[in-house]
Structure 1
Amino acid sequence: MDTHSRSFAKALSWRATGTIDTMIISLVITGSIKLAAAIGATEVVTKSLLYYLHERAWLKIPYGRKTAS
């Protein structure tokens, strides 16, 4: 079972990757570095929290888990 700190670290590393992707897409679509940065800054906070909560919820779901023998 993952600890809370491990789930949080995984969320941060994934969000860094996702935010860079979002900022690049936003820059391509809007042509504005300032707007792309604002979109990236907003989504890194919201999606980090959502990922953490998603991970913690899945730890409570036994589907697909094998028990240690």
Structure 2
Amino acid sequence: MVEKPYRSLVKAISWRITGTLDTIFVSFLVTGRFKAAVSIGLIELCTKILLYYLHERVWNRISFGRVKGQEDYSI
């Protein structure tokens, strides 16, 4: 089974929302400034969505670790 590109994009976005909230939280703890934390989080959000999407598409072309599924029944 092969994933469609839009599935990789949706997965990338959902994962990055989680990661970005974490980055904003950590940035706020380090800087103590909410505006700086949000700025760091937004920059990180954009760059990492792109990197994750490209990473997924490359791995989708690699057969390493994949097995072909068996048919349940055939005549």
Q: TM-score, normalised by structure 2?
A: 0.90
TM-score by length of 1: 0.97
What is aligned with 1:24?
25
Q: In structure 2, how many angstroms separate the alpha carbons of the residues matched to 1:60 and 1:2?
A: 10
One-letter code aligned to 1:31 = G
How much is the aligned-residue C-alpha RMSD, in angstroms?
0.5
**Superposed CA offset, 1:14-58 (max 9, x none):** 000000000000000000000000000000000000000000000
Aligned residue pairs total: 69
For structure 2, the residue ranges without an aligned partner over 5 or more in a row are: 71-75
Task: Report the structure number with the largest CA radius of gyration.
Answer: 2
Find the counterpart in structure 1 of residue 6 from structure 2: 5
Question: Unaligned 5+ residue runs, structure 1?
Answer: none
Identity %: 49
Greater per-residue helix proportion: 1
After TM superposition, what 4+ stretches of structure 1 lie above 6 angstroms from structure 2? Answer: none
State the alpha-carbon separation in 1 of the partners of residues 11 and 60 from structure 2: 14
Correspondence for 1:46: 47
